[in-house]
Structure 1
Amino acid sequence: MNRAEIDSLLAKPEQVVVLDVRRPDELISKGSFPAFLSIQTTDVEKYLAYLPKDRIIVTVSNRAHRAGTGGDLLSGKGYQVARAAGSLDYEDQGGKIARIQPL
């Protein structure tokens, strides 16, 4: 997804959930969107019950590869999934990424 497509979805927070599938160290070093759920790709299936089926899910990774894998799994389980997003791609296109501070 490009920045305009992502921004369009993020403008409707009541309709979307951002699911970041990266490792915690990547979230800290690279940042993410202002509000997101964090479930690593390998754990997505284990935590399906925590994901709403009545919202569009935007899966996120650095360059969208792992996000695509997670999105495919969710689509196969009946979830509404937008195309995968790369947070680094979004930032490269001028989008604002939130920096996460470790405790």
Structure 2
Amino acid sequence: MANDQKDKRFLLRLDQALYDRLALEANRANQSVNMYIVSLLSENHGTKSFENRQIIGQTVSGADVNMDNGLVLVSGIYYRYLINDNSEVDDKAKYAVIEANGNILTLQKI
């Protein structure tokens, strides 16, 4: 983080078990613990929507996809949807949520 701007320093208290886990992951990423924590914060601070954090990767049944109204029910919330290959919805198949853009989810048959 050495750059022309002054870095902000603050004290962060972690329990030993959490520090040990972070140190292990930092070592795997070939980073210091400080840089690893900074990278985690940078990746996750305000850049990802609820859908990107909570919905991507979930699976839904084709039966939860309503072709009449163009909505899919995921985690109790209705979203508009697209099928990644533009195929018709198979109500007996499972679909993975592979992308979220606003209130539109992209589904892929699995």
Fold shared by both chains (TM-score > 0.5) = no
- TM-score category, normalised to shorter length: under 0.3
**Structure-2-length-normalised TM-score:** 0.22
**Structure-1-length-normalised TM-score:** 0.22
Indicate the structure (1 or 2) with the bigger Cα radius of gyration.
2
Identify the structure with the greater strand proportion.
Answer: 2
Identify the structure with the greater helix proportion.
Answer: 1
